Amino acid sequence: MEQSYGQLRESVSSAASRFASMAKMPVVLCLLMLSQSQQASVAQDGSHPLRGSQNREGQAVHSKTVSVRALGGQLSVRLPDGYCSIKDKGREGEMLKHSRDMMPQSVRILHAAAECSELAKYAAGNSDEVFHWLQVQMIGPSGTFRRLPFSREEFLSNIGGQLPEIDFTAIESEAETLLERAGMDVSSVKQAPIGRDGNAIYMATNFSVENAAAPRHIRGLGAITLVNSIPLGIHVYSSKPLSDSPRDLQSDLHSLLQSILHNN
């Protein structure tokens, strides 16, 4: 039965509240990419890269332009220059599987990539980390992944209205549990919405993390949007000091977001 406009607005507001409550989860998601390969002995979650006509949701073949399946459809993603897809084999596969295993039930990784030269060193065993990486995620409150019956503008307007009212206590509690499982300690977390337009809500993240290796500072930018009626989280991160980083995160996020919006 077709919803009235009033019912639709109520549905939008309810869903937006649940999506907005996840605004601090990018902190957890990016930390999972820092795990060393020996932490990755976990059970597979069934979300594997696509190969050929494989029809599972998840990461596509190693390419600049990748095609991923989400909710029975295809999303085309053009990676920013200098990024390569994280492959589901060897040390890369261990890192990817570990990240997926540690995901909260409300987030599913559709694609992950890292700076090409850093990823090559990691894959060859010459490094235990990557310093620049990105993720395209599908968001589903309470683990319910579905297309939403309203426009991107309605979705973003309602999320934008909810962001100042978020209670982060429960979110941070879940984050702490996940971080303990990953053997990490996070501090000095600063995350806040930094703006919105007709395409997305934007967030900035800064925090420090310590694990068995060495303490480091993480900075990231993210966007929440609706594409083909599917709620997505798009995030780019760097653990290099701004003065030493060869990447411009704002440019990388813009490139990634625009490719997804314009190609789908």
Q: What digits encode the pLDDT tens for the residues 75-127?
A: 999 999 999 999 888 888 888 887 777 677 778 889 999 999 999 999 999 98
Q: Is residue 171 part of a domain?
A: yes
Q: What is the pLDDT of residue 139?
A: 85
Q: Is residue 52 part of a domain?
A: no
Q: Is residue 51 part of a domain?
A: no
Nearest to 220 by CA among 232, 229, 230, 208: 208
Contacts of 43 (CB under 8 A, 6+ apart): 101
Q: Is residue 220 part of a domain?
A: yes
Q: Is residue 49 part of a domain?
A: no
Calpha distance 182→185 (Å, rounded): 9
In this predicted structure, the answer to whether residue 188 has a pLDDT above a threshold of 70 is no
Q: Is residue 160 part of a domain?
A: yes
- Max CA-CA distance within the chain? 59
Q: What digits encode the pLDDT tens for the residues 131-174?
A: 899 999 888 877 788 898 888 988 888 775 554 433 445 555 55
Instruction: State how many domains the chain has.
Output: 1
Q: Is residue 46 part of a domain?
A: no
CA 240 → CA 29, 81, 218, distances in Å?
17, 18, 7
Please compute the mean of the pLDDT values over residues 194-207 and round it to a whole number: 86
Q: What is the pLDDT of residue 182?
A: 64
Give me the domain span that covers residue 62: 5-36+57-262
